[in-house]
Structure 1
Amino acid sequence: MKYISIGNGAFSASEIALGCMRINGLSSKQAEILVSTALEQGIDFFDHADIYGGGKSEEVFADALHMNDDVRETILIQTKCAIHDGYYDFSKKHILRSVEGSLRRLHTDYIDVLLLHRPDALMEPEEVAEAFAELRTSGKVRYFGVSNQNPYQMELLQKYLQDRIIINQLQLSLTNTGMIDAGINVNTQFDGAINRDGSVLDYCRLHDITIQPWSPLQYGFFEGVFLGSDKYPELNTVIGELARKYDVSDTAIAFAWLLRHPAKMQPIAGTTNPQRLADICQASEVELTRAEWYDLYKAAGNKLP
C-alpha cells in the first residue's frame, strides 16, 4: 500500500481508505475479519458517518478493532455529520452533539477528521466556525473537511474558519466523471462542457484539498456496480484486458484509474467482502499509462472533443 499526503501535509495516510457505511450488517466475526484484512493490506484510514447504520456502524467497527489507546494510535478515523431526521443540519448544537455520539460509539477520545456531510442550505458559517474551534481546542477533532461541496460553498465556510478545509468527499468513478468531463470539454458546445460543480476538481488541487471519491464502483446515484454490468460492455472489456495485463482484479483497475489522476485522490472502498477489499488494494501497485487511462475514460462512453 502506498501512502499519500492528505491536505498537503496535514498527515499521511493510505491512498485507499475503507468506508464503513455497511459494516453494521456484519456479524462480530465478519467485521473482525474485514477490519483485520484492511490493516493487513496497509489501510490505516477508516471513513464513517453518524448516520451509517443509525450509528451502529461506528459501534461495530470499534468492537471489531477491540479499540484501546494502543490500537487507536495506529489508525486514522474520519466521521461525518449533518444528515439527520430528513434534513441537513450545520448548527453548532448538532455538530457538537454528533461528535459526542461518534466519540462514544467509537470508544475514542478524538476524531482525526470531521466532515460536514451534505451542504446545508441554512448554513451559518460563523456557527460552524464556533463548533469547529471548540472541537479543536478541546482535542476532540484534529482536522476538518466537507463532503459534496462546490468551490464557493467552501470559500464561504473557509472565510470564517480558523482551521483549513483539508478534504472534500465527492462522487467520482469511471462512470460518474462530471468533474473531469467539464475540464476536457472546455470551450465546446458538447454536453460534457456543462460545468455542474464550479470546477471543484481544479479548485481542490489549487487549495490542497484532498478529494475522496465515494462510490468508486457505482454508476448513477447508487444505481448499481458497473463492473460486470451489461450497461457497460465496452468498459468491462477494456477493464478485463488491463486486469490481465497487470495480473490484478477488475476492481483494482477501476481504483487504479482514480489513483492515476495527479490530484492524488484517496478513494473510499465501501466493500464488506474481505477478498474484494484485498483485490481493490492491488490498485496501489498499478500505475496505468496515460493512454490506458484515456482508453478507460472513452470506454465508459465519454468522447474527446
Structure 2
Amino acid sequence: MTQSQSTLIYGCMGLGGGWNDQPVRSEDVKKVHTVIDSALECGIRLFDHADIYTFGKAEQAFGQALRERPELANELRIQSKCGIRFADELGPKRYDFSTSWIVSSVDSILSRLGVEQIDTLLLHRPDPLMVVDEVASAVATLQASGKIKNLGVSNMNAHQMSYLQSALSTPIVCNQMEMSLTKLDWLEEGITEFSSSTLGTLEYCQANNIEIQAWGSLSQGLFSGRDLNGQPDNIVRTATYVRELAEHYHVSSEAIVLAWLQRHPANIRPVIGTTAPHRIKACAQSDTVTLSREQWYTLYELARGAEMP
C-alpha cells in the first residue's frame, strides 16, 4: 500500500468536522479514511495529533477509522500533543505541565484514538509554571505503563529543552516549531538577531539528535495558489520564483516550498495539513527535489525582502 517512506508528517488538525460542539459524523470518519489512504500511498506514515484539535474530535474520528480498519495500525505511527487547556470554570486559557494533567491527558488521548500506546507525546507549548521534576515523573509513569514510547516538545527553545532534559531519564526526541518561507525567525536569529533568547535552538537540536518538525510549513498556501492581491512585493516575487522552480523540477509549487525546508542540514520534517488527496500528492513530490545552494538562498532572500547582510 505504501511507497518508500516520506519525510513528511501529516498534521490532523483539519480532521473531525470543525471547531464546534457538533458530534463526529460518518462523513468525518470517511474523510479520515481518505486522508490516511492518500498519505500512505505517498509514503507518509507519521500522523500528528493534539488533544485540542477540533476539541478532541480529530482524535475521535481518527480512532473510529482505526477501529473500522484495525490493519492500519501496522501501517502508520501516531504522535499527539498535550498541555494546552482552554478557558473553563476554573480559569482562562492556559498551559499545564503538571503531573496529573499530563497523565490524564494521555489517558484521554488513548481513549479517543482507541489505542494502547502512542509513539511520541509532545508537550504542546512551554508552560511558564513548568516544574521539570513533575514532567519527569509524568513521563516516567507513562513510559513504565507502556502508554507512550517517546517524549517530544513543541515550540520550545534551546534553553527550555536543555532545562527540561536535565530532569528526564529519557531523551527528548523531537521539537515541533513554526517554520516556513513566511516564518523565518529560526534562520534570522542566527544571522542578524544575535541577542535573541532563542539563539541556538536549531544547533541544540542537531547536536542532541532532536528531530525538527515544521508546522505551518506551507504558509497557508501563500506560494501555492492563494490569491496574492494586496500582498507585499516580497511575497509576490517569492511566489513567482516558486512557480519557476516548480516548472524547472516538474513538480508542484507545494513541493518547492517544502523542499526549501528540507534542504536545510537539520533534516527538517515538514508537517502538512491539507485534506485534499491531490494536494497531499503534490506535497509528497518534495521528497524528489534537492534545491541548489543558489536556489535556496534566492528563495530566502526573496522571502525576507532584502539581500543577506
What are the ranges of 5 or more consecutive residues in structure 1 without an aligned counterpart? 4-13, 186-191, 219-223
Compared CA separation, residues 57 and 67, structure 1 to 2 (3 A): same
Other-structure match for 1:9: none
Give the Cα–Cα distance (whole angstroms) in 2 for the partners of residues 2 and 239 of structure 1. 26
Give the Cα–Cα distance (whole angstroms) in 2 for the partners of residues 268 and 171 of structure 1. 10
Q: Does the 8 Å contact 1:82/1:88 carry over to 2? A: yes
Other-structure match for 1:140: 147
Other-structure match for 1:42: 43
Other-structure match for 1:125: 132
SS of the equivalent of 2:119 reads strand
Q: Does the 8 Å contact 1:148/1:171 carry over to 2? A: yes
1:196 to partner: Cα distance: 4.6
Q: Does the 8 Å contact 1:67/1:107 carry over to 2? A: no
- Is 1:170–2:177 an aligned residue pair? yes
Other-structure match for 2:243: 240
Compared CA separation, residues 158 and 101, structure 1 to 2 (3 A): same
Give the Cα–Cα distance (whole angstroms) in 2 for the partners of residues 31 and 264 of structure 1. 28
1:59 to partner: Cα distance: 1.2
- Per-residue Cα deviation, 1:147-190 (whole angstroms, up to 9, x for no partner): 011111111111110100010000000111111112233xxxxx
SS of the equivalent of 2:174 reads strand
Alignment of 1:70-81 (within 5 A): 70-81=71-82
Give the Cα–Cα distance (whole angstroms) in 1 for the partners of residues 244 and 62 of structure 2. 36
Other-structure match for 1:212: 213
- Is 1:155–2:162 an aligned residue pair? yes
- Is 1:276–2:283 an aligned residue pair? no
Runs of 4+ deviating beyond 6 Å: none
- Per-residue Cα deviation, 1:118-141 (whole angstroms, up to 9, x for no partner): 000000110100000011111110
| 1:288 alignment partner, one of 269, 291, 298 | 291
Give the Cα–Cα distance (whole angstroms) in 2 for the partners of residues 140 and 2 of structure 1. 28
Give the Cα–Cα distance (whole angstroms) in 1 for the partners of residues 109 and 75 of structure 2. 19
Other-structure match for 1:252: 255
TM-score normalized by the length of structure 2: 0.88
Compared CA separation, residues 135 and 182, structure 1 to 2 (3 A): same
TM-score normalized by the length of structure 1: 0.89
Give the Cα–Cα distance (whole angstroms) in 2 for the partners of residues 34 and 68 of structure 1. 14
Other-structure match for 1:201: 202
1:73 to partner: Cα distance: 2.8
Compared CA separation, residues 291 and 91, structure 1 to 2 (3 A): same
Return the letter of the residue paired with 2:73.
R
Q: Does the 8 Å contact 2:154/2:176 carry over to 1? A: yes
Other-structure match for 1:298: 301
Give the Cα–Cα distance (whole angstroms) in 1 for the partners of residues 106 and 306 of structure 2. 41
- Per-residue Cα deviation, 1:282-302 (whole angstroms, up to 9, x for no partner): 001111111111111111124
Q: Does the 8 Å contact 1:252/1:279 carry over to 2? A: yes
Give the Cα–Cα distance (whole angstroms) in 2 for the partners of residues 95 and 268 of structure 1. 23
1:234 to partner: Cα distance: 0.5
Identity %: 42
1:27 to partner: Cα distance: 2.6
Over the aligned positions, Cα root-mean-square deviation in angstroms equals 1.6
Give the Cα–Cα distance (whole angstroms) in 2 for the partners of residues 143 and 217 of structure 1. 27
Return the letter of the residue paired with 2:255.
A
Give the Cα–Cα distance (whole angstroms) in 2 for the partners of residues 174 and 83 of structure 1. 27
* Alignment size in residue pairs: 284
